[in-house]
Copies of this chain bind each other. A is one copy, B any other.
Amino acid sequence: MNTAVRTPTPAAEARRAIRTGDWTSHTSALADGYVQGNVVILPRTHADDFLRYCQRNPKPCPVLAVSEPGRPELPALGEGIDIRTDVPRYRVWRHGQVESEPTDIRSLWRDDLVSFVIGCSFSFEQALLQAGLPVRHIEQGRNVPMYRTSIATEPAGPFSGPMVVTMRPMRAAAVIRAIQVTSRFPEVHGAPVHLGDPSLIGIADLGRPDYGDAVDVRADEIPVFWACGVTPQAALVQAGLPFCITHAPGAMLVTDLLNHELASF
């Protein structure tokens, strides 16, 4: 294929702006329609356990791609991706604590690092909106509310911890449609894991999320809970590894995949 004359995709344009340092903020407004992913980078010695952790917990940890050890490319997600420069802002972790939030990790790169990109609910939220369904935190201009639950993930090696969920309130007819819509997207958390009474999954107060912002839940609405990509990050923090790197909250990897390409039927 002759790539010399190809017009860059909006995703490639976004990555270029990020790589050059022109964009260092969150990515929610970038490259509309393209899949964005959570990023986890860790030494090979822990990568196998982490991959098994993701395999055992596919709803909160849907793996879109894993790199070769030491290689910054992720060819399955986009031509020319360099994971060392193409995320707007990183978090460098030492023993479970954030050490720094750089915009480039080339100076930290090692030959044993393995990169994971994990699906994110941005993709299915686009499908919800296109189906005419309400996404309250978007309506209210807030971050999605996230809660630690009493649902334990399946451990693997040092990785374990509670499933974290996002919550979107809807009326019953919209709940039914939202289950149909998100079931088509198993690689970005898929169908909900719970709906209705929050206390049944260990959530004491919807008004006090563990991450993100609270949103309004109206009297005729049902809270619906989806597995959240913060789950593997929480497991990573809990593991207290000597060294790992993640994206900073909201500053994701923009890929060349289109959201609708993830639809399973």
Binding site for B on A (CB under 8 A): 172-173, 175-176, 179-180, 183, 191-197, 200, 220, 222, 265
CA distance A36 to B211 in the complex (A): 50
- Are B220 and A200 within 8 A (Cβ)? yes
User: Please, which residues of chain B bring their CB within 8 A of the CB of A191?
Assistant: 176, 180
User: Please, which residues of chain B bring their CB within 8 A of the CB of A183?
Assistant: 180, 183
> Are A176 and B179 also in contact (CB < 8 A) when A195-B222, A200-B220, A222-B196 are?
yes
User: Please, which residues of chain B bring their CB within 8 A of the CB of A175?
Assistant: 195-196
When all copies of this chain in the complex are counted, the total is 2
| 3 interchain residue pairs of minimum CB distance | A179-B179, A172-B194, A172-B195
> Are A193 and B173 also in contact (CB < 8 A) when A200-B220, A220-B200 are?
yes
- Are A196 and B196 within 8 A (Cβ)? yes
User: Please, which residues of chain B bring their CB within 8 A of the CB of A194?
Assistant: 172-173, 176
CA distance A193 to B176 in the complex (A): 8
User: Please, which residues of chain B bring their CB within 8 A of the CB of A265?
Assistant: 265
- Are B176 and A195 within 8 A (Cβ)? yes
Q: How far is the CB of A239 from chain B (nearest CB, A)?
A: 28
CA distance A200 to B170 in the complex (A): 13
CA distance A94 to B75 in the complex (A): 72
Q: Offer 13 A-B interface pairs, CB within 8 angstroms, sorted by A.
A: A172-B194, A172-B195, A172-B200, A173-B194, A175-B196, A176-B192, A176-B194, A179-B180, A180-B183, A180-B191, A195-B195, A195-B222, A200-B220
- Are A196 and B172 within 8 A (Cβ)? yes
